[in-house]
Structure 1
Amino acid sequence: MPQRGFRGRRFVLFLYLALVGVGGAAGFLTATFVDNLEPPAYLFLVEFPATQFGFTAYGALTIATVLGVPLLLVVYVSRYVDDPDAVSPKD
């Protein structure tokens, strides 16, 4: 029977997407209400225009990267790294 509701992976994915949306909304609101902004540079490499769309993309991508990289590391470790205590000791 399929799982319903927000548990486990679904909850983490929903929370991740919600936080990325909040980052994008914060970028949009910043560009809307603050004057004379300089163009943001994503990872100091890709420069976005100093517009509402540019700050929205910058905010969403920054939060996605800052939260996504550690989340992917946790997923990798939980799947592929063995637990040394899970194996019984050799006699």
Structure 2
Amino acid sequence: SYQHTGQTADGGIDGTVIVNTRLKGSQEYCIQCKLYSKNIGVKPIREFLGTLSHYRNYHQGYFVTNANFSKAGKDFAADKAN
């Protein structure tokens, strides 16, 4: 199931998805969507991770964009769990 929560000043979460699996049961994921004309760097990814852990108490999420991620952004995200 999906719930759209995004709006201006939404605190960094545009929606949530609940996935039911046999092995893990019900898992909830936060979704952040960005429409950018340039590569996504470290700052937006860091902000999303901060939102996941501090403001929403979620541990997993997806960062979705029409753009690419910079090398620094990829390196930063690769070092993080979930």
TM-score range, shorter chain: under 0.3
Greater C-alpha radius of gyration = 1
Q: With the length of structure 1 as denominator, give the TM-score of the two structures.
A: 0.23
Higher helix share: 1
